[in-house]
Structure 1
Amino acid sequence: MTETLTARARFVCETVAKTARLMVGVPDYPTYVDHRRTVHPGQPVMTYEEFFRDRQQARYAVGKGRFRGCC
């Protein structure tokens, strides 16, 4: 019973943390890696640093010569 409650509490905490990270714009790298390996097998997977930079550029349009911000 205690193990079940501990596992459930851990799952809830991980889900809350994941949601909070996504709300402030921190992308979910493990989900990206799982997607690439499942849907695009054999294709390269970006490192965490490459992935983070790519997501920042997509969100803030930094790579397009202007800064548009998030709002």
Structure 2
Amino acid sequence: MAAGKKAAGAAAAKYGRDELVRQARALLRVSEDAAAGALSGLDREELTVAEAKQAIQQFLRRRVS
């Protein structure tokens, strides 16, 4: 049980944008196109899966004129 708490407190792994786009369906449950569009506008090269999911959700929910 202590090991589970220790693992949860560890820093989350960061992945490059290209890797996240290639693995979009498995990691983020979106198409590669959606991931590429959402992550292309970011100024960071590496993100955690949670950060990528948040960026994609914001991208998909934004209003289109």
**Normalising to structure 1: TM-score of the pair?**
0.28
Larger C-alpha radius of gyration, 1 or 2? 1
Structure with the bigger percentage of strand: 2
Structure with the bigger percentage of helix: 1
**Normalising to structure 2: TM-score of the pair?**
0.30
